[in-house]
A and B are shown apart, each in its own frame.
Chain A
C-alpha cells in the first residue's frame, strides 16, 4: 500500500505517446550520403503538415550554382519535394530547406550529399564561412573554463591532499564548479555559433533551425554532445563532493574531466589531418591536458591558496612546482612533435598563416616558460629555506595571465587548418573557404 503513490507516479511517467512538434522524419537523399547516380529530386518528409513556399528547398553545387527547381508539397503537406537537374558526378551538393510546421514554428536546416564523392559535413556546406574570430574567442573561453575546472581539481587532489581550512576548500570547489558551469555554457554558445554559420539564416530563424544534422553528422557536433554530457556529469560530481564533504568524489570527476578533453582534439583539425594517427591524437590530448592542468593550477594557487591559507603557501607552491615541471615537459615534447608532424617544411613557419600563429604561440609559451623557470630556479629554493620573496602572489598572477594568453593562441591554432592538409579522398570543402 505504501508503494502505491510511487507506482502511480511511475505509471504517469510512461503513458502512450502523442504527437510533438513537427519534425523532419525522412530525407532523400540521406544526410551526407555518397551517391553513385544523381537523384531526380530532394524529398523531405515531416511527421505533421507544413506550409512551404516555392523556395522551401534549395540545392546548390559547391560553386554556388542552383540545381533545384520550384518546391512543391504533397501528402497533405507532410512531404515537400524539389526536382533536381544538371547535377554532375564528382561534386558535393548543399541542401537548404525552410518550412513552417503546423504549430506555427518555422524550421530550417542544411545538409549535404555527394555524387561519387564523400560530401563535406554540414558545417562546411555551401554558404558557410568557417570559423571566425568569434569561434576563436569561444574556444579560448572554453579552454580557460576547462582549465579552471580540471586544474583546480588537479591542485586539490595532487597537491593539497590534507584536510583544508573550510574557506579555502569552499573557494576551490567554487572555482571548479564555476569552471564547469562556464564550460557547459560556452560549449553551447560555440555550438550554436557554428550552427548559425552552417544554416546561414537570420537570428529569428536560427532559433527554430534544425541543428540535428550538425549535432549528429559532424565531429564538432559529436564532440559537443559528448562533452556537454561529460562536463555536466563532472560539474554534478564536483557539486556533490562539496555538498557531501566527500573529496574522493573529485577523483572520478577529475578522470572524466581529463578524458572528455579528447573532444577538443576531435573537434579541431586534429581529427581530419591526412597524417593524423593514434599517436598524434594522443599527443594533442596530452598537450591540451598538460596546458590546462598547468594554467588552472596556477590560477587556483594565486586566487585561492595565497589569499586564504598563508600557512599552506609553501607546501602548495613546492608541490605544484614539482608537478608543473612534469606538465611543462609533456607540453613541450607533445607540442614539438605535433608541430613537426603538421609543418613538415620549416619554411612553412614563416610562409603560412598557420605558421605565423604557431610562431606567436611559441613566443608566448617562451615568456610563460621563462616566468615558470624563474619561479622554479629562484623562488623555489628560497621557499624551501622558508624565505618567501615578497610580491610572489603578483608574480603568480602574472604567470597565470601569460599562460591564459597561451590558451588564446592554442584556440586560434585548433580552429585553424595547417597548410599541408589535402582533401582526404572526398570533396573539397563546399564553402571553398580556407578555414
Chain B
C-alpha cells in the first residue's frame, strides 16, 4: 500500500530537519572542531545522498499527476548528485571548491520545481502559500553556497545554508493542501 502523501512529506521533512541541525551544529562549533571525529564530516552529504535515493520511489509510486512525478524526480536527481559531489569533496576525489556550486544548482532546480508545480496563487490555500514560500526560499538560498565559495571563512553563509534546511523542514511539516490560511480565501479551497 502506498503511504499517504503527507506522511511522505513529513518523512522527508524529518530528513531535512536532521540535515539542517547537523549543518547548524557544524556552524556553531566550527568546522575544525566538528571534523575532529572524521565520521561527522560524512554525515550531511550521506543524508543528502540518501534523501536523493529515497526520493526515486516517491517519484514513481506517486503518479497521480505528471507534474508531481517530474518534480519528485528532479529533486531525487539533484539531491543524489549534490550528495555525491559533497561526499567526493570530503573524500578528496574532487578538490576544487567551485564544486560547492553544485549545491546552488540543486537549490535552483528544487526551487523551480516547487514554483512550477504550483498552479495557484500565493493565498489560494495553505498548500499554495507554502509551495510558493518554499520555492522562493530555496531560490534565495541558492546564494549561500556561492557565498561559501567566495568567502569560505564567513560563517553567515554556512549558517544561512544550514537554516535553509530547518526552515524547509518546518514548512514541509506545515504543508496541508486544503487547510486554510487566514481563513478560506477561495470557495474551491474548502476543507476536505
Contacts and interface: CB of A to CB of B under 8 A. Distances in A.
A229 B11 CA distance: 19
Contact of A21 (B5, B76, B188): B5
A352 B67 CA distance: 39
A267 interface: no
A19 B176 contact: yes
A100 B60 contact: no
- Interface size classification for chain A: 35 or more
Interface of B: prevailing SS? helix
A49 B177 CA distance: 13
Interface in A389-405: none
B13 interface: yes
A192 interface: yes
A384 B77 CA distance: 44
A103 B117 CA distance: 13
Contact of B59 (A15, A208, A228): A228
A12 B10 contact: yes
Contacts of A245: 91, 93
Contacts of B4: 17, 20
A104 B87 contact: no
B120 interface: yes
B111 interface: no
Contacts of A236: 49, 53, 80
A13 B15 CA distance: 8
A106 B119 CA distance: 9
A19 B4 CA distance: 8
B124 interface: yes
A212 B64 CA distance: 5
Contacts of B21: 5, 9
B56 A229 contact: yes
Nearest 6 A/B pairs, CB to CB: A20-B5, A13-B14, A232-B56, A211-B63, A19-B192, A48-B192
6 contacts: A20-B176, A23-B64, A102-B190, A104-B186, A181-B77, A188-B69
Interface of B: 4-7, 9-11, 13-15, 17-18, 21, 49, 53, 56-57, 59-61, 63-70, 73, 76-77, 80-81, 84, 87-88, 91, 93, 117, 119-120, 124-125, 127-128, 173, 176-179, 186, 188-190, 192
